[in-house]
């Protein structure tokens, strides 16, 4: 038997079962491979999200036509158009895109780590804890918007840490994380109710609005910190994204391939929590996008488990679409976007349940 070790002889590439794109530089110093369908879905979702964003910039009490919106974005807008599109509406739309992507990524991370379609920051109690923190600030300190954000952040992070500690036993296990999250969530929800009952009507209303999650009060001041944080976390995920996929094969197999388990998991959990924290601090808790975006993206991509980029694109699309609905469905009344996402999320869960029942 002569060894058929091929050097310069070209080998037929393996059939991956789906079309893949391989890019290589001549010297071999750079090479990358990705699924064609995944790339196309991401590009399509991003394009639709951007399209909706442009439409959203034109709709409102002061209607601006799409060509005018585009020229305003490019810097050629006149006085009123420029003010409405760029100064008032653009930060909101930009944040919808960025925060939606952040939620999609966060959901993808948690669902991959817990190996469970219900694993999302919502489930592990982060949002409830953030609401507790915000309520404490609103009711006890009568705090400003910034103070409420910080309170929410602190509450959310403490809750996440608590849930993590409860479920830690030589490493995180998906199921334990979810159960601990649900338990802590339930306890904090009752605390929240009690706090609201004790508050005055005004305070309670203000707390309720915050608790629903709204993009109504964002301005350009919010955009830079969110953009920077998203950039930072996206860079982290670029480095650790591959480990996320490898961790799904089980601890032994991942370690055998050279993945440093606890480091990877810690970085990924911290990144996931940080992404959610950023969203909650900026606009309050927005439910269901973290849960639904990765699964919907997965359904379109049809790849193994959840993937990061398509989830991000889907999250951006969902939030922009939800905000469009929130602003215009009952015009001139503006709904908090969180109400729309909860309604959509409810429909999604019902559909999921119906599908599962039909399958059995």
- Binding residues for other proteins (CB under 8 A): 1-6, 11-18, 22, 24, 28-33, 115, 239, 242, 245-246, 248-250, 252-253, 255-260, 302-305
| Min CB(24)–other proteins separation in Å | 7
- Phi–psi pair at 144, nearest 5 degrees: -80, 180
Distances from the Cα of 217 to the Cα of 94, 146, 210, angstroms: 13, 11, 10
Give every CB contact of residue 135 below 8 A, 6+ residues apart in sequence.
192, 195, 196, 199, 207, 211
| Min CB(347)–other proteins separation in Å | 24
d(CA 212, CA 313) in angstroms, rounded, equals: 23
| Min CB(250)–other proteins separation in Å | 4
Residue from 116, 64, 103, 106 nearest 85 by CA: 64
| Min CB(268)–other proteins separation in Å | 16
Number of Cβ within a 10 Å radius of residue 192: 20
Nearer to other proteins, 217 or 260 (CB): 260
Length of the chain: 360
CA triple 123-126-129, angle to 5 deg? 125
Nearer to other proteins, 32 or 357 (CB): 32
Query: What torsion do the CA atoms of 341, 347, 351, 357 make, to the nearest 10 degrees?
Result: 110
Nearer to other proteins, 217 or 255 (CB): 255
| Min CB(298)–other proteins separation in Å | 8
| Min CB(260)–other proteins separation in Å | 5
The residues with which 34 forms a beta bridge, in sequence order, are 21
Nearer to other proteins, 164 or 240 (CB): 240
Nearer to other proteins, 232 or 249 (CB): 249
Nearer to other proteins, 92 or 298 (CB): 298
């Amino acid at each position: 038997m002569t060894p058929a070790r091929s050097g310069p002889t070209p080998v037929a590439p393996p059939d991956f079962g789906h079309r893949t794109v391989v890019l290589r530089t001549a010297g071999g110093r750079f090479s990358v491979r990705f699924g064609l369908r995944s790339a196309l879905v991401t590009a399509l979702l991003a394009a639709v999200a951007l399209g909706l964003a442009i439409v959203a910039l034109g709709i409102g009490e002061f209607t601006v036509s799409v060509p005018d919106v585009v020229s305003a974005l490019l810097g050629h807008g006149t006085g009123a158009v420029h003010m409405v599109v760029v100064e008032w509406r653009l930060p909101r739309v930009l944040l919808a895109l960025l925060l939606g992507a952040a939620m999609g990524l966060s959901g993808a991370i948690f669902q991959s780590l817990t190996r469970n379609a219900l694993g999302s920051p919502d489930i592990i109690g982060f949002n409830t804890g953030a609401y507790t923190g915000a309520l404490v600030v609103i009711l006890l300190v009568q705090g400003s918007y910034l103070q409420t954000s910080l309170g929410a952040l602190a509450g959310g992070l403490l809750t996440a840490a608590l849930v993590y500690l409860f479920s830690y036993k030589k490493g995180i296990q998906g199921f334990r994380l979810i159960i601990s999250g649900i338990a802590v969530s339930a306890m904090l929800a009752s605390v929240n109710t009690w706090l609201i009952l004790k508050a005055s009507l005004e305070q309670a209303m203000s707390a309720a609005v915050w608790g629903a999650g709204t993009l109504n009060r964002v301005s350009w001041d919010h955009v830079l910190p969110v953009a920077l944080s998203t950039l930072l976390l996206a860079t982290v995920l670029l480095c650790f994204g591959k480990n996320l996929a490898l961790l799904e094969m089980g601890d032994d197999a991942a370690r055998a391939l050279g993945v440093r388990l606890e480091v990877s998991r810690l970085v990924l959990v911290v990144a996931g929590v940080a992404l959610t924290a950023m969203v909650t601090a900026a606009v309050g808790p927005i439910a269901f996008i973290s849960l639904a975006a990765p699964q919907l993206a997965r359904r379109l991509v049809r790849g193994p488990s959840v993937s990061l980029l398509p989830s991000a694109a889907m999250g951006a699309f969902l939030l922009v679409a939800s905000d469009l609905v929130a602003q215009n469905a009952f015009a001139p009344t503006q709904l908090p976007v969180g109400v729309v996402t909860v309604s959509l999320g409810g429909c999604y869960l019902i559909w999921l349940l119906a599908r599962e029942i039909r399958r059995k």
